[in-house]
Amino acid sequence: MKRNLLTLAAAMLLAAPTFTGMAQNPFLQDYTTVYKIPPFEQIKTSDFIPAIKAGLEEQKQNLRAITMNRAVPDFDNTILPLENLSPILDRVAGVFYHYDGAMSTDEFATMAEEAIPLLNEAANMVNLDEQLFSRIKQVYDNRNKMGLNAVQKRLVEKYYRQFAEQGAALSPEKKAELIKVNDELAKLFIQFNKNLLNATNSFFVTVYDEADLAGLPASSVSQAADDAKARGLDGLWVFTLHAPSRLPVLQYAQNRGLREAIYKGYTNLASYGDNSNYPVIEKIIKLRAEKAKIMGFDNFAQMMTSRVMAKTPGAAEELLLQVFEPAVKRSREEVADMQAIVDREGGNFKIAPWDYYYYADKVKKEKYDLDENEVREYFALENVVDGMFRAAEKLYGLKIEELPDAPKYMDEVTVYEVKDAKTGEHISVFMTDYFPRATKRQGAWMEQMQSAGYYGEGDVRRPIVYNVGNFSRPTGDTPALLTLDEVETAFHEFGHALQGMLSTAPYRSLAGTNVDRDYVELCSQINEHWATAPEVLKMYAKHYKTGETMPDELIKKLNAAGKFNQGFVATELAGAALLDMKWGENNGENVNVPEFEKAVAVEIGMPEEITFRYRSPYFKHIFGDDGYASGYYTYLWAQVLEADGWELFEKKGVFDKKTAESFKKNILQSGDTEDAMVLFQRFRGHKPDAHALLRLRGFE
């Protein structure tokens, strides 16, 4: 086996392309920075296209070295080289996709329109290569005779399955059709994201009368004044659709008209004018239906669910309805409580969607005497990050320290090194980028610029992982004070980061978050629970002025309110997941976005006071790319795993050493080295219990 690998390496060396005239392009050579962090200060927008083209050429020649190898296909000469097929593409894609979400300037966005089809071409070059798939199939067919260990065998099986899923087994005619559809979809995804970013940045509400700001926290008012000043509207207040601006208005503004304006602005995002995503979605749905037929499926949802734990759209919808129906029932009780306050105050109106957050907050104060503005004063961002780190350090034996001199792409980014607390061994680089800006899309996410695993013989690397958010900014002398939702979001994304950082899988394709889509949210969602665990709150929830720890009485109120409004939360989430699944089942005929949404709402019984968590024109999870398409349900699927797993921590103790070690070994470190259900059962001791989720939500 060693000889074959060396023969292949020699072949690749002979075939290695040379690049002239691009000596200053940082993507064209291995990084020499600490832990191979990209040298951001050297990277220019003009570097991306030449590097992608160079990577395409490198991939083409290395691919040829595999397919032209006369040796009998085996793990070393066919599967292993695919883990490191084009180092140049690895480097440039790692930065490109990050910038596409977090640093999409006008110059970058223009360049991306050329770059994404090229990257799509790179994927097609590999995924649809008949000779390569033939070799993979030979290894797959003989995998039990090759003396492979269990992880190597799983890698072979994963490559075979993924190539088949990408169309490698199709006829030449069908492949040509698939390439055309994929190219068109890639362009539509670019347009969808561009429209959404432009629509988000172009909408704002200006407040002229200070009286209309009644009820809003001082930090929100201050931020609105800063936003107005930045637009040349000194002395006024501007509210945008970015979450730190939008959500306080919906939750606290006494002015019902202001709430309605912000709500309707958000729910009509990218729904009109030059930035309308309606025609984009119609084309995406038609192309996805066509793609499913090319691949031999009845519809897109059937194709996508066949690849994950759910296996069928029916199984996913069954789980969704198990949650949706009791959630709707609970939400009706929640609305009744809100309506009672409206009536008592002489409001003389029926609760509308733009009233939900505002009156839910009033009910919450009445029932639990909990003021979220008071809670925010204990959630300064730096303290939240400290608590997040300290909980992980205590659970998993880590030490996390800032790397102040590490390369970064802007000043607001913080870079950390994660080490083993006992040995000092380097585990990962971790970056955070938490504040909104015009070049960043909405939401929060985790990704990595470098995965853990094999990068060539003798070169096994540790990951470079990052978290991105859109949290409340500091204002004046006040630090960034996070809402409870933002705190839980920070812990959520750090849960993803932990799975990426702690991975011990030997191969990149099996490492970190490279797991089934309906399993990947387990680590993130379970990590949210430590955010409000009393033992953890005592560690980090310090008042930003006095430094005092959050008092026990407030911690008790916070946790007592933990199941409050869960009808709304689950209805909103499950409703969006059902909408996504219905889009996947659409055959591409007579697609009218508003009418389709209304029909789904009627079919599932969506309460009129609650809309889908995301309406289609800004449902980036499912129309910004294929990542969560016909897969948004996975958040609830994983919540079953999360709820069941958390019950074990609650029973044993949130810092129980044995439970934490088991979770670290079987879930965080294992990646996709074994079947997800096997790993979960090894940690939990039984198959997932769907009723655990209903218990967690307070529905049982």
Looking at the annotation, which residues are catalytic? Answer: 493
Sequential DSSP letters for 622-672: HHSSSTTTTTTTHHHHHHHHHHHHHHHHHHH-TT-HHHHHHHIIIIITTTT
- The one-character DSSP state at 439 is T
Dihedrals φ, ψ of 132, to 5°? -65, -45
Task: Identify whether the C-beta of residue 308 lies closer than 8 Å to the C-beta of residue 516.
Answer: yes
Alpha-carbon span 104 to 193, nearest angstrom: 10
CA-based nearest residue to 498, from 513, 480, 516: 513
Residue appearing with tokens 């994927």: 123
Alpha-carbon span 500 to 297, nearest angstrom: 33
Extract the tokens encoding 511. 């490492």
Extract the tokens encoding 185. 């979809």
| Strand partners for 519 | none
DSSP strands (E only) in 421-478: 426-433, 445-450, 453-454, 460-461, 464-468
Alpha-carbon span 3 to 1, nearest angstrom: 5
Kind of pairing, strands 426-433 and 464-468? parallel
Alpha-carbon span 430 to 413, nearest angstrom: 10
Alpha-carbon span 509 to 497, nearest angstrom: 17
CA-based nearest residue to 611, from 191, 263, 362, 197: 263
> Dihedral sign, CA of 91, 96, 97, 98?
positive
Sequential DSSP letters for 492-516: HHHHHHHHHHH---SSGGGSTT-S-
CA-based nearest residue to 153, from 503, 510, 460: 510
Alpha-carbon span 581 to 616, nearest angstrom: 12
> Dihedral sign, CA of 689, 693, 694, 695?
positive
The secondary structure of 370-389, three-state, reads CCHHHHHCCCEHHHHHHHHH
3-state secondary structure of 465: strand
CB atoms within 10 A of CB 123: 14
CA-based nearest residue to 268, from 4, 6, 616: 616
Q: 222-261 burial string, b = 16+ CB within 10 Å, else e?
A: bbbbebbeeeebeebbbbbbbbbbbbbbbbbbebeebbbb
3-state secondary structure of 466: strand
Task: Identify whether the C-beta of residue 439 lies closer than 8 Å to the C-beta of residue 429.
Answer: no
Query: Which amino acid is located at 524 in the chain?
Result: S
Task: Identify whether the C-beta of residue 51 lies closer than 8 Å to the C-beta of residue 88.
Answer: yes
